[in-house]
Each structure stands twice: as C-alpha cells, then as structure tokens.
C-alpha cells in the first residue's frame, strides 16, 4: 500500500504543492517518508531533523493541519486517524518559513529571552555546598524541564495566530513556570513580572498547545500556574487578575456571573465607560440587564462544594 504525500513547498517566495507517492512499510514514520522523498524522488525538498528519537524537537511539521513530531508519528496511524490514503504536510504554523518545511527559530529564541530564562540561585547556596534540592521540590518543576522546543504548541496557538506581538509562545510560559516553581531560585517574582508584561492574561485558554504537545507538558496548565503564582506574589493589580477575582467572587457567592458589574470590577469605571457602545449592544440583544437583580443559581450548594474542593486541592498541592 502507498501513501500520497501532498507537501507544501516554498522556495524564494514561490509557493506550490507537490504530491509524492511513498510505499508504506512497517513502522514508517512521517520523517521516514520525507526522507524517502528526498533520497528517491526529489532531492530539492528541504526539512529538518536530528535525533530521530523524539528528543531534539527539530522535526515538527504540520500533518493534516495538526502539529506532529515527524520522527515519532507513524504514517499508518495517521491514515487510520484521518480515514484517508493521503496526508498533507506543511511547515509549522506561526513561524516564518525559510524554505519548504524549514522554519526560522531565531525570532522565537529572541522572544523567549523576555521571560528572563536564567535561574539565579538563592544566596545561601555556595560553590562548596552546591544547590541542593529535595526530590519533592524537584518534582514541582520536573515536568516542565522536559520541553524539547519542538514548536508544536505555538504552531497551533490561536492567540499567536491572531496577534503574536503582545503574547509569547506557549513554550516560553513553560520555561517561566519551570523557573518560578524551582525552589532554588531567588527571583521567581522577576519571571512573573516578565510574563505579566509579555501577555500572561491574554491567553485564550483554548488548550490547543496542551493538546498538541508531544511531551504532555500542558503549556496551558503552566500558564494557569503562573497566574496563580502572581496572586501569591501580590502581583495582582492588573485587569486580568481583577477579572479572574471578580469571576471567582461571583461564582462563589451566587453561582452566576454578574455581567453588568464584571467589566467595572475588572477595568474600573473609566475604562468601562469607554465600552458603553458594546454594553448597549449586549442590553439590546438581551444578554445583559443592569436593572435586573443578580440571580442565584439553584445549584449554589453544589457549586459552593466544588469551589471548596478546588480550594482544598490547591492548598494540598501547595504544601505537597
């Protein structure tokens, strides 16, 4: 059996799609298939890879619209997943393409510097004693140390697609959470201030980064942990934190959101006044009624129990 690979080509500003037929052998990965094309069918095709063992992150591409590590994913599995005999292969999204499937990492490396990605150890560590850490403390950030900088998360990040100027790549937040959660660091607040400036609260929470990470690192979860940490470090005098707090208060008290007050609590009266045209549209369509009393959800007891359980789980995680 063969697979048809429709590969997006890009050379010196010219774009086109080439179709290649590759025989499927047992255990054929997408990277094996690309290598077959380059070696047997078309030496002009460009792509990147290095370790071929899912550890260097160099080989990620988009297959049928989803980022994949090409050395890890099997062609047969993809054909079964999409119920097809044809795969479309493109470069990662939200990157500048250099040639064919090769993307430019230089701007991404420059952006990751925004989170101040260096660990500054506490003063009580010395060159004689080293930076000792308990296994429990190590486990708090171990997961995030597994990022292989493959770019799959940013490829599918909806916020980056809309506007990358005021928001970082998801892996940069993973890096920041690794540093903030590291008990050896004396500067977690510095990294938190940096991610706040770099758009922490602008994440859409769409979970695409988490769904696409081949290492299961949960970048969206890292972003939520960073948000939590900003409260612990009293870095919560900003619109995002006030918005989250307003939602938390409304849900805890009544189980429903008070839309007519949410914006005032988040942005203050002046900024809310500037949003009057939108408020009028919401009132016009019946989505908001500032005169109506704020209803209490009939399931408020269940909601209160969920809030309490979540608070307890948070406390246990913080002390574990």
Contacting residues toward ligand SF4, per CB under 6 A: 57, 147-153, 157-159, 170-171, 174, 203-209, 213, 215, 217, 219-220, 223
Locate 304 and state its tokens: 């209160």
> Binds 170, which of ligand FES, ligand SF4, none (CB < 5 to 8 A, cut-off by type)?
ligand SF4
> Minimum distance between the CB of residue 141 and ligand SF4, rounded to whole angstroms?
13
CB of 117 to ligand SF4, least distance (A): 13
Instruction: Between 71 and 241, name the residue whose CB sits nearer to ligand FES.
Output: 71
162 in Cβ contact with 211 (< 8 Å)? no
Judge whether 178 and 141 are in contact, CB under 8 Å.
yes
Distance CA 272, CA 288 (A): 14
Phi-psi region of 174 (alpha: psi -120 to 50; beta: other; left: phi over 0): alpha
Question: Of the two residues 37 and 220, which places its CB atom closer to ligand SF4 in the complex?
Answer: 220
Cα separations in angstroms, 192 against 66, 172, 228, 238: 30, 12, 10, 13
Nearer CB in complex with ligand SF4: 57/91: 57
- Which entry of ligand SF4, ligand FES, none binds 206, CB below 5 to 8 A by partner kind? ligand SF4
Query: Of 34 and 223, which has the nearer Cβ to ligand FES?
Result: 34
| Chain CA centroid to CA 127, Å | 36
Q: Which of ligand SF4, ligand FES, none lies near 255, with the C-beta cut-off 5 to 8 A by kind?
A: none
Q: Which does 56 bind (CB under 5 to 8 A by kind): ligand SF4, ligand FES, none?
A: ligand FES
Which CB, 69 or 229, lies closer to ligand FES?
69
Cα 194 to Cα 208: distance, rounded to the nearest angstrom: 23
Give which of ligand SF4, ligand FES, none residue 151 binds (C-beta under 5 to 8 Å, depending on kind): ligand SF4
Residues engaged in binding ligand FES (CB under 6 A): 49-52, 54-59, 69, 71
Quote the CA–CA distance of 100 and 247 in Å, as a whole number: 46
Q: Which does 220 bind (CB under 5 to 8 A by kind): ligand SF4, ligand FES, none?
A: ligand SF4
Nearest 5°: CA angle at 72, between 67 and 77? 80
d(CA 50, CA 282) in angstroms, rounded, equals 53
Output the smallest distance, CB 202 to ligand SF4, in A: 8
3-state DSSP assignment of residue 96 = coil
Please identify, using beta-carbon distances, which residue of 38 and 202 lies nearer to ligand SF4: 202
Residue in this structure with the two tokens 């179709």, named with its chain if needed: 19
């Amino acid at each position: 059996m063969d697979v048809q690979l429709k590969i997006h080509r890009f050379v010196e500003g010219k774009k086109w799609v080439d179709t290649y037929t590759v025989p499927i052998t047992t255990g054929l990965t997408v990277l094996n298939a690309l290598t077959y094309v380059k070696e047997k069918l078309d030496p002009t095709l460009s792509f990147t890879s290095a370790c071929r063992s899912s550890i260097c992150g160099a080989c990620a591409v988009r297959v049928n619209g989803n980022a994949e590590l090409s050395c890890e994913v099997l062609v047969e599995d993809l054909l079964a997943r999409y119920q097809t005999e044809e795969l479309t292969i493109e470069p990662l999204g939200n990157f500048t393409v250099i040639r064919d499937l090769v993307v430019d990492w230089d701007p991404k490396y420059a952006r990751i510097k925004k989170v101040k990605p260096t660990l500054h150890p506490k003063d009580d560590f010395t060159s004689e004693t080293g930076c000792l850490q308990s296994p429990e403390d190590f486990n708090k950030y171990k997961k995030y140390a597994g990022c292989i900088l493959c770019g799959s998360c940013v490829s599918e990040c909806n916020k980056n697609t809309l506007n990358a100027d005021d928001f970082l790549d998801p892996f940069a937040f993973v890096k920041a959470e690794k540093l903030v959660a590291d008990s050896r660091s004396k500067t977690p607040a510095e990294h938190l201030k940096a991610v706040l400036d770099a758009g922490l609260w602008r994440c859409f929470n769409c979970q695409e980064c988490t769904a696409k990470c081949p290492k299961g690192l949960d970048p969206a979860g890292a972003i939520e942990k960073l948000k939590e940490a900003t409260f612990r470090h009293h870095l919560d005098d900003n619109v995002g934190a006030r918005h989250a707090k307003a939602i938390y208060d409304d849900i805890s008290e009544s189980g429903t959101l008070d839309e007519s007050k949410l914006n005032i609590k988040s942005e203050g009266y002046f900024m809310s006044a500037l949003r009057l045209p939108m408020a009028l549209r919401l009132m016009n369509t019946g989505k908001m009624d500032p005169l109506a009393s704020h209803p209490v959800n009939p399931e408020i007891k269940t909601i209160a129990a969920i809030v309490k359980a979540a608070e307890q789980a948070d406390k246990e995680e913080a002390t574990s």
